[in-house]
Amino acid sequence: MVTAIETVNSAMSMWNQAVTFKKQATERLAESRKWTIHILMRDRIYPDVQQWLLSLPARDEPHTFTLSTTYDRQARYSYDGKAMRWCTFDGHRIGFRVAEAGKDDDATEASPSDSGSYMLRERQLEIVSGSPAAVAAVKAKVQQLLDAKRIVDSPPSIHVHSRWGWDRSQAPLRSLASVVLDRGIKESVSADMGRFLGSESDYVERGLPWHRGYLLHGPPGTGKTSLIKGLAAEHGLDIYYLSVSSMRNDDDLIDRVHDVRPRSVVLLEDIDSATAATDRSDESGVTTSGLLNVLDGMFTPHGMIGVLTTNHRDRLDPAILRPGRIDVQLELGPATTWQVRQLFRAFYDREPADDIRVFDNPNMRPTSADVIEAFKGHLYDADGAEQALRELVLIRAPRVAQR
């Protein structure tokens, strides 16, 4: 005979099974009605949203995070895992992970292109929830972060390419005022760039592609990179740095430039390493054809400011220098006497001695990098810096004579 206790236990067991079934069914229904918010890694709000998500109470075991520090000594955490991390926000259960753009599952890191080479897809942050109320709360929070960023936006920054796309460098830009070139050079280039940035509607109305190209050429240490950093800071532009010699092929170059935000500087260094051949059998390295497609072709981003640097202008394919691809060419040479004296004032806040001169012969003049290196050994000793500069100029004379 079944006792009352057994009857109660049986009823409780059936009740627990029913509750479990209902919970599982609810979770499956929520999963089938999942809402997902995607934020591309290139978006400026991406790191802020990820920082906020990592600050939320987690509902699962800890994952591995990456800690980096900014130049102003702030700690920043990031999470690049494909595993979904669940947390609680405003009473709602939400999850997030980092995955490849355009993929709904844990896809591989790269996919074959039409040419047979492998191109890395851009990464994105995926925020998921089965509740419309949770999605609304997340959207409101993201908008709040965006509004705060508009009020106090982060300064322009440098982006370098990595295996996953673009990584933001923690190195700061420099003010244009701190860049010392010969008379009028930086002012002229800055004015030209400012006119271009304010002319978007004029270009569009006339059916012109809105992009501009600059070529900076000259010996190493003459201030090419410093000028680019100063111009970017002056006009509030991000810099995307690409070394052409490190690109695997044309597809790799085009894929990287495709992910650049509008109104940004794309800095292409070592462009003389791009071969003029367009039908090579080994398919390695960037060709002139691929470079032209990036500078003025189907793959040129809207509003791109392309800046090319080289130590050897004479090695470039003439097709690269055509107007529309390169609009402004600027040669930066060794330091002039005026430039050296300006650098001295910037370092020591006083006029240098009257005998501080450099040779009229450009082959005998030091570069601005040489001058700055001499000053660095005497940061707090202006007299010592003057003597170091005199020695630097005199040392170069016999070296040049032996050439």
- 231-247 pLDDT, tens digit each: 999 999 999 998 887 77
Shared domain check, 198 and 248: yes
The pair of three-digit structure tokens given for residue 142, joined into one six-digit string: 């993201």
Shared domain check, 143 and 110: yes
The answer to whether residue 19 sits within a structural domain is no
Shared domain check, 309 and 208: yes
pLDDT of residue 252: 84
115 Rama sector, left if φ>0, alpha if ψ -120 to 50, beta otherwise: alpha
Q: What is the CATH number of the domain that holds 304?
A: 3.40.50.300
Tally of domains within the chain: 3
CB < 8 Å & 24+ apart, contacts of 378-384: 379/347, 382/344, 382/347, 382/348, 382/350, 382/352
Shared domain check, 341 and 280: no
Shared domain check, 104 and 222: no
The answer to whether residue 279 sits within a structural domain is yes
Of all residues in the chain, what percent are helix, strand and coil, respectively (each to 5)?
40, 20, 40
pLDDT of residue 112: 43
Nearest Cα neighbor of 166 from 271, 39, 247, 260 is 260
Region 151-156 average pLDDT: 61
Residue 183 per-residue DSSP state: T
The answer to whether residue 18 sits within a structural domain is no
The answer to whether residue 11 sits within a structural domain is no
The model's confidence at residue 28, banded by pLDDT at 50, 70 and 90, is low
Whether 76 has a pLDDT exceeding 70, the answer reads no
Which of 297, 331, 365 is the last residue in one of the domains? 331
pLDDT of residue 276: 43
Question: d(Cα 273, Cα 269) in Å, to the nearest integer?
Answer: 9
Given the structure tokens 């032209």, which residue do they identify?
A: 292
The pair of three-digit structure tokens given for residue 106, joined into one six-digit string: 């844990």
The answer to whether residue 167 sits within a structural domain is no
Question: d(Cα 321, Cα 216) in Å, to the nearest integer?
Answer: 12
Instruction: Give the model confidence (pLDDT) of 268-325 as tens digits.
Output: 987 776 654 444 445 667 888 888 888 888 888 889 999 999 988 988 888 889 888 9
Mean pLDDT (the chain) is: 78
pLDDT of residue 375: 93
Shared domain check, 121 and 58: yes
Shared domain check, 258 and 327: yes
The answer to whether residue 168 sits within a structural domain is no
The answer to whether residue 1 sits within a structural domain is no
Instruction: Give the model confidence (pLDDT) of 170-195 as tens digits.
Output: 777 889 999 999 999 999 999 999 99
Whether 356 has a pLDDT exceeding 90, the answer reads no
Instruction: Give the model confidence (pLDDT) of 92-145 as tens digits.
Output: 888 888 887 665 544 334 444 443 433 445 678 888 888 888 888 998 998 888
> Which pTM was predicted?
0.65
Instruction: Give the model confidence (pLDDT) of 277-289 as tens digits.
Output: 444 445 667 888 8
pLDDT of residue 116: 40
Helix axes of 224-235 and 185-197: crossing angle, nearest 10 degrees: 40
Which of 120, 154, 188 is the last residue in one of the domains? 154
The answer to whether 356 and 190 are in contact (CB under 8 A) is: no
Which of 286, 301, 331 is the last residue in one of the domains? 331
Strand segments, DSSP code E, in 152-218 are: 158-162, 165-168, 212-217
The answer to whether residue 165 sits within a structural domain is no
Shared domain check, 92 and 198: no
Q: Which domain holds residue 382?
A: 337-401
Please state the φ and ψ torsions of residue 309, each to the nearest 5 degrees.
-125, 145
